[in-house]
């Protein structure tokens, strides 16, 4: 039986409603990991380092989908909660057209500058060609990439989270199969990795696009839409935290790579790339839950159901507490196994990566609370607070720790930077939750 946004959510309903999004995020992370495994084992460490060096710049260009997806879904779910379904559909259509337009512009601008961008990021002669090849190929598929990111949120608002999961599984399996064909069978190297990712994104973006173009059983269908500057601004401010989060993470990844080149050379960049791939899986659980609950929060905020807001917040933090203990324990126990999947061919690099994963994994105890807190304020249509939490958590605190801790603890200080940053951000999240409880009446 389909669970609707308007219902009272018990633990069982909350888990059932969000589990497709959680699985979708984890599965999306897994096929990203498979990408890395094929590059590391079929092409080599230099190519793996090149892909991880250019990836932050590509993620910055792709943030448009995250911003309008999360910010737009908060606006749309609130509008539905207010009983304005037709207006919500107008907002949906307008935002989809805007995402396509901006993504095309970013793709055209970014393509000729990819070599310059690679050099600015620190690519050496061994990495440069692979950086440019991978970057330009991914840019060709930037429009479906952005659409795939935004539809992850919009399908939840449309009460079709299972459909989003099915699409994620289809694109993931396709990506893994194409990785095998392009890199292992056809020996296409980094180009094969980029094509596998791009083609799978094309499928992941086009399937829901076709669904919403055709008559369907959801509240949304793409149609003519008027330009609404106020709605665009509200969607942008609501989603600014997710945009800042992705941009900040990309900038921080660049700084991590620069510091690691200084303290550990290209091996450090490889180890950090592995941490990021592993982290996608663990943090994907928190992200999936936060994305899955945001439309529920937005709906009940629009409907002024303050009792349900209290219920959602209380249950969510209890679920996060249990999940964080499980996630951290799993990461600590499996650290060497996870590292060996990528770099079993190099004993010294394997040991460095294992230590790095174990130190970095301590952040999983805390990050879920910060991710959910930021998403909670986005769903309440308070993009400013959400953006402040994300900005401090992913940029200010991490940048400070990236430069401070290595001076005190050497290489291990780099791996611990995110842990201290999450602890500091937790204090900020708690302060905002306490300070706004009367305004939003959630507890």
Can you spell out the DSSP letters for 203-233? HHHHHHHHHHHS--SSS---------HHHHH
- DSSP code at position 361: G
Asked if 371 contacts 394 with a C-beta cutoff of 8 angstroms, the reply is no
Distance between CA atoms of 407 and 405, rounded to whole angstroms? 5
Give pLDDT, residue 55: 78
pLDDT tens for 282-311 read: 888 898 899 888 888 888 888 888 889 999
Going from the C-alpha of 127 to that of each of 51, 98, 145, 236, the distances in angstroms are 9, 35, 24, 35
- Say if residues 331 and 284 touch (Cβ distance below 8 Å): no
Q: With the C-alpha atoms ordered 390, 408, 259, 343, is the resulting torsion angle positive or negative? A: negative
Give, as one character, the DSSP assignment of residue 7: S
Token pair 């305004």 is at which residue? 439
What's the CA gap between 225 and 93, in Å, rounded?
6
Report residue 369 as tokens. Answer: 């609370």
> Domains of the chain: which residue ranges?
12-440
Sign of CA dihedral 48, 337, 199, 220: negative
Residue 6 sits at φ, ψ, to 5 deg, of -80, -5
Q: Return the residue matching tokens 């018990």.
A: 10
Query: Which residues, 6 or more positions from 281, have their beta carbon under 8 angstroms from its beta carbon?
Result: 26, 29, 30, 33
Between 381 and 203, the more confident residue is 203
**Coil, strand or helix at 10:** coil
* pLDDT for the residue 1: 52
Cα–chain-centroid distance for residue 280?
Answer: 8
User: Does 443 have pLDDT greater than 80?
Assistant: no
Q: Six-digit token pair at 179?
A: 């990785």
Check if the beta carbon of residue 152 is closer than 8 Å to that of residue 164.
yes
Q: What is the pLDDT of residues 84-131, one digit of tens each?
A: 888 888 999 999 999 999 999 989 988 888 888 888 877 777 778 888
Q: Which of 63-72, 202-211, 215-224, 228-237 has the lowest mean pLDDT?
A: 63-72
pLDDT at position 51: 81
Q: How far is residue 164's CA from residue 162's CA, in Å, rounded to a whole number?
A: 5
The share of the chain scoring above pLDDT 70, in percent, equals 96
At residue 237, the pLDDT reads 79
From start to end of 41-139, where are the E strands?
Answer: none
């Amino acid at each position: 039986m389909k669970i609707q946004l308007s219902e009272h959510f018990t633990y069982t309903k909350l888990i059932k409603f969000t589990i497709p999004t959680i699985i979708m995020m984890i599965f999306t992370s897994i096929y990203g990991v498979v990408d890395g495994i094929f590059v590391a084992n079929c092409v080599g460490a230099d190519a793996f380092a090149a892909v991880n060096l250019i990836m932050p710049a590509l993620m910055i260009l792709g943030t448009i989908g995250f911003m309008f997806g999360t910010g737009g879904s908060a606006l749309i779910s609130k509008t539905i909660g207010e009983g304005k379904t037709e207006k919500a559909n107008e907002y949906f259509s307008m935002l989809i057209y805007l995402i396509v337009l901006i993504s095309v512009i970013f793709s055209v601008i970014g393509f000729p500058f990819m070599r310059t961008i690679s050099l600015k990021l620190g690519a050496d002669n061994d990495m440069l060609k692979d950086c440019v090849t991978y970057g330009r190929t991914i840019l060709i598929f930037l429009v479906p990439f952005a659409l795939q990111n935004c539809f992850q949120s919009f399908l939840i608002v449309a009460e079709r989270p299972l459909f989003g999961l099915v699409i994620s599984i289809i694109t993931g399996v396709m990506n893994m199969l194409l990785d095998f064909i392009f890199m292992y069978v056809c020996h296409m190297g980094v180009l094969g990795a980029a094509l596998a990712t791009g083609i799978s994104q094309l499928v992941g973006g086009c399937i829901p696009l076709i669904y919403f173009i055709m008559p369907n059983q959801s509240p949304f269908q793409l149609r003519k839409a008027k330009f609404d500057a106020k709605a665009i601004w509200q969607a942008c401010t609501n989603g600014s935290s997710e945009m800042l989060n992705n941009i900040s993470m990309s900038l921080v990844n660049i700084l991590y790579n620069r510091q690691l080149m200084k303290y550990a050379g290209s091996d450090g960049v490889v180890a950090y790339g592995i941490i990021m791939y592993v982290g996608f899986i663990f943090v994907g659980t928190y992200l999936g839950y936060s994305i899955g609950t945001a439309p529920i929060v937005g709906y009940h905020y629009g409907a002024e159901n303050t009792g349900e807001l209290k219920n959602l917040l209380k249950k969510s933090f209890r679920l996060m507490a249990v999940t964080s203990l499980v996630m951290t324990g799993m990461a600590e126990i499996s650290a060497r196994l996870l590292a060996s999947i990528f770099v079993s061919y190099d004993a010294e690099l394997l040991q460095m990566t294992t230590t790095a994963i174990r130190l970095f994994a301590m952040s999983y105890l805390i990050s879920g609370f910060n991710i959910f807190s930021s998403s909670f304020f986005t769903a309440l249509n308070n993009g400013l607070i959400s953006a402040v939490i994300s900005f401090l958590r992913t940029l200010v605190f991490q940048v400070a720790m990236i430069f401070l801790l290595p001076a005190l603890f050497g290489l291990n200080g780099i791996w611990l930077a995110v842990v201290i940053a999450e602890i500091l951000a937790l204090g900020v999240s708690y302060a905002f939750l306490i300070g706004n409880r009367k305004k939003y009446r959630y507890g």
